[in-house]
Amino acid sequence: MSDAKAGRSGPTTSTYALIPKPANLQCMDLQEYLRTRTPETLEKLYNYPTICLAVYRELPEIARQFVIRILFVEQPVPQAVVASWGSQHYAKYVVLSIPKQSIKTNIFLFREQAASASCLTELNVWRVTAIPGGLSAWELCSTFKKNLKIALLGGGKPWSMSHTLEKDSKPRDIAFLDTYAMARWRCVLHYMVGTGSSNKTQDSEGISPDAVRILLHANLMKRDERDGITITRQGFQFLLLDTQSQVWHFMLQYLDTCEERGLSLPDCLSMLFQLSFSTLGRDYSSEGMSAKMLTFLQHLREFGLVFQRKRKEGRFYPTRLALNITNKHATVPAIINEEDKVQESGYIVVETNYRVYAYTDSPLQVAVLGLFTELLYRFPNLVVGVLTRDSVRQALRGGITAEQIVSYLEQYAHPNMKLTESAIKSKSPLPPTVVDQIKLWELERNRFTYTEGVVYNQFLSQADFVTLRDYAQSINVLVHMNERTRTMVVTKNGHDDVKRFWKRYSKGGG
């Protein structure tokens, strides 16, 4: 609390902060992640050729053309020259203002060129510089330029992982690596939905404490005094992502905490990209790695990104989860098994009596349904549950929203449900009564509307209270008032205006 008094004795003001609403899951790609780093951190990252190559590969097509055309030019290139590289057929101009520069340069570029130029600037790949004659020019960051050349042409220090090994006496094929990777990754997903916290599945070793810390740090799970560690709203959204997006988001959260473990962010990110450039099914040596990178390798092993028979063995196999981890248009196909095929085609039937039928034998899919349904029967390839007030409210208490529940049921609805007459009319495969009831159960818990504001009380006279109340009401910032106790609440944004009015009023003697 803070007291604010101006002129003669005035009302006491108390600021009350609003309880923050639960945020949605923010999934960043590589470019968005790098934009959150400081220029100093980017400069350190660009000392690694693998990181420079990964950044280059993820740039927009026109941005890659810009970089490759000026990579071997040893002097700044005028911006007018770069602008002339665009096709005149798509002549739609926009004004581009380069941020964070001492010289603000406005140049006319094509729409795609403008976006590419802005992207390169934000990632600190190039910068604006002046050339003789007062013209503005583009110049690649020297560190990025040097190490991208190394990545493309060779040279520099050898990578920490290499495949100069004797032939493996017990080689692992791609099918084995795919099975191993998904078994390890599903340990994380099973733990999130409450099926793997204590029991270990027959094809896995269970989840490590390190993975649990990452889930808590990412707010995918939270500690609850009554229920222990439970899934959050963001965690439920995380389960709806595809596997590649899940792994990338999880590794970003790991990188945020790697320095707390004594690991270097540039070293870990470089190692991760080395794995993404590796060949599936080939074994690599870990003999050249430092002790810290060996620790990082073991963490990747726990998450299913690499396979290693024994911790001390100097040989490991990257799995499909690590390959092209940042590439949205990966050339290596994703792991697709029978469970994924069933999920893609839809396996859930919802009836008007709130019964839910799931044609699946996947423990993970059953566990996700169990988050918001009461499971009744389980058969070899069928699970029957029912949506009840208690089961839905339990999910709501955990941070899952009614919209997420409806979205999940719609996303994985059986194809036959989409052919019903009601589905065609309402454009939703779910019965309207079920959708409405789920949202009504949520409204039962959302009976209050929270508004952040400032309380004014302890007025010395009724006239002062009425004057300030009327002014706040006239500018539409009054939230609540009680004339008997001489108390009023104004919005936080309107507090400064009300405070200034009170100072003028009190100095004028009322």
Q: What is the 3-state secondary structure (H, E, C) of 53-71?
A: HHHHHHCCHHHHHHHHHHC
Q: What is the CATH number of the domain that holds 480?
A: 3.30.70.2610
Per-residue burial over 30-64, b = 16 or more CB atoms within 10 Å of its CB, e = otherwise: bbebbeeeeeeebeebbebbbbbbbbbbbbeebbe
What was the pLDDT predicted at 196? 46
Give yes or no: residues 220 and 297 share one domain. yes
Kindly state whether residues 299 and 427 are assigned to the same domain: no
Q: Do 157 and 148 form a contact (C-beta atoms < 8 A)? A: no
Measuring CA to CA, how many Å separate 119 from each of 63, 148, 212, 274?
8, 17, 35, 24
The two structure tokens encoding residue 284: 């690599």
Residue 25 placed within a domain? no
In a shared domain, residues 123 and 265 = no
Going by DSSP bridges, is the β-strand pair 77-78/478-482 parallel, antiparallel, or unpaired? unpaired
Q: Is the domain of 346 the same as that of 459? A: no
459 and 16 Cβ atoms separated by less than 8 Å: no
Say how many domains are in the chain: 4
Residues, the chain: 510
Contacts for 141 with CB less than 8 Å, ≥ 6 apart: 43, 46, 124, 125, 126, 127
Q: Show contacts of 430-436: CB within 8 Å, 24+ apart.
A: 430/350, 430/406, 431/350, 431/351, 431/352, 433/352, 434/350, 434/352, 434/354, 434/387, 435/406
Q: What is the DSSP letter of 91?
A: -
pTM of this prediction?
0.69
Yes or no: say if 315 and 165 are a contact pair by the CB < 8 Å rule. yes
Q: Which residues of 309-320 are buried (b: 16+ CB within 10 A; e: fewer)?
A: eeeeeebbbbbb
Domain termination site, one of 426, 446, 466: 446
Contacts 24+ apart (CB under 8 A), 209-213: 210/299, 210/302, 211/302, 211/303, 213/257
Chain center to CA of 438: 27
Which residues lie closer than 8 Å to 359 by C-beta, 6 or more apart? 342, 347, 348, 349, 381, 382, 414
**Do 135 and 106 belong to one domain?**
yes
- pLDDT of 273: 92
- Tell me, what's the pLDDT at 23? 61
Q: Are residues 107 and 64 in the same domain?
A: yes
259 part of a folded domain = yes
Tokens 């707010």 locate to 219
Q: Judge if 119 and 216 occupy the same domain.
A: no
**Range of 50's domain?**
30-153
Residue at a domain's end among 403, 429, 446: 446
Q: Do 216 and 311 lie in a common domain?
A: yes
Q: How far apart are CA 385 and CA 23, in angstroms?
A: 29
Q: Are residues 75 and 212 in the same domain?
A: no
To 5 degrees, how large is the angle CA 163–CA 164–CA 167?
Answer: 90
Which amino acid does the sequence have at 44? K
Assign 3-class secondary structure to 119-149: HHHHCCCEEEEEECCCEEEEEECHHHHHHHH
283 and 353 part of one domain = no
Q: What is the model's pLDDT at position 109?
A: 47
**Domain final residue, candidates 398, 415, 446:** 446
Q: Residue 3: its pLDDT value, please? A: 37
The Cα 100–Cα 124 span in angstroms is 11
Q: CA 181 to CA 243: how far, in whole Å?
A: 11
pLDDT of residue 204: 40
Is residue 128 within 8 A of residue 98, CB to CB? The reply is yes
Is 211 a member of any domain?
Answer: yes
In the sheet that holds 478-482, the strands lie side by side as: 12-16, 453-457, 487-491, 478-482
CA distance 181 to 321: 7
Q: What is the pLDDT of residue 335?
A: 54
What is the predicted pLDDT for the residue at 211?
87
14 inside domain? no
Same domain membership, residue 348 and residue 321: no
* Residue at 168 is within a domain: no
End-to-end Cα spacing for the chain: 27
Q: Is residue 162 situated within a structural domain?
A: no
- From first to last of the 510 residues of the chain, give the pLDDT tens digit: 333 333 345 677 666 554 445 566 788 888 999 999 999 999 999 999 999 999 999 999 889 999 999 999 999 999 888 888 865 544 344 444 444 443 444 444 456 778 888 899 999 999 999 888 888 899 999 999 999 999 999 887 777 676 666 787 788 899 999 999 998 998 898 888 875 444 444 344 578 888 888 999 998 988 877 667 888 888 888 887 878 888 999 999 999 988 888 999 999 999 999 999 888 888 888 887 889 999 999 999 999 999 998 877 888 999 999 987 876 555 445 555 555 555 556 899 999 999 999 999 888 889 889 889 999 999 989 999 999 999 999 888 877 889 889 988 998 899 888 888 777 777 889 999 999 999 999 988 877 777 788 999 888 889 999 999 999 999 999 988 999 999 999 998 889 899 999 888 887 755
My answer on whether 80 and 52 are in the same domain is: yes
Domain for residue 330, yes or no?
no
The pLDDT of residue 163: 63
Residue 316 lies in a domain: yes
